[in-house]
Amino acid sequence: MSREFYFCCNKQETNRFGSNSIVSERALREIYLKEFGIYVKESAPGSVMTSYNLLNGIHTANRKDILDDVLRGEWGFQGFVMTDWGTTGDAFNMGRHGASSSDMSIRVGNDIIMPGNKKDVEQILDGLATGWIDRSDLELCAGRVLAMSKSLSRVIQNE
């Protein structure tokens, strides 16, 4: 059976663009993150997709604590992180909370913004110009995508 995991706290289809999952730290750790942590540690996926929802008032695509601290730090995730399709675009993100921030996504380690658009590029370039994000933030994200690309290329060549 195929299972879809959105990182994190959003397994619903109804209002998935506009939900704000209010979860205590204990419930987050003991219930919601536990299943995902087992999956990441045991299967070593190449990529993870953040969910549309807010988690305690902040878009999951903009949360350093779950992306960098938990996913990469505690669980040792080596792949790249991407946003769900259109999470930074208001047209897709129909909820009352609006879209996630492209520059913040890069700052916290969300490597690919799907599908990406002119507004995302402008927001990231503005973030670089103002110092909100560092070039090193962007290089880390690009490096993880390139590493996965090289890894996939080796797999394809060996088939």
* Per-residue confidence (pLDDT) for residue 71, from 0 to 100: 95
* Per-residue confidence (pLDDT) for residue 92, from 0 to 100: 57
* Per-residue confidence (pLDDT) for residue 4, from 0 to 100: 47
3-state per-residue secondary structure call for the chain: CCCCCCECCCCCCCCCCCCEECCCHHHHHHHHHHHHHHHHHHHCCCEEEECCCEECCEEHHHCHHHHHHHHHHHCCCCCEEECCCCCCCCCCCCCCCCCCCHHHHHHCCCCECCCCCHHHHHHHHHHHHHCCCCHHHHHHHHHHHHHHHHHHHHHHHHC
Query: Which residues are catalytic, by number?
Result: 84
* Per-residue confidence (pLDDT) for residue 131, from 0 to 100: 95
Note the residue count of the chain. 159
pLDDT per position in the chain (159 positions), as tens? 334 457 877 766 666 667 788 889 999 999 889 988 998 999 988 899 998 888 999 999 999 999 999 999 999 999 999 998 888 876 655 566 777 889 999 999 999 999 889 999 999 999 999 999 999 999 999 999 999 888 877 778 877
* Per-residue confidence (pLDDT) for residue 91, from 0 to 100: 61
The residues with which 7 forms a beta bridge, in sequence order, are: 50
CB 59 within 8 A of CB 49: no
* Per-residue confidence (pLDDT) for residue 2, from 0 to 100: 36
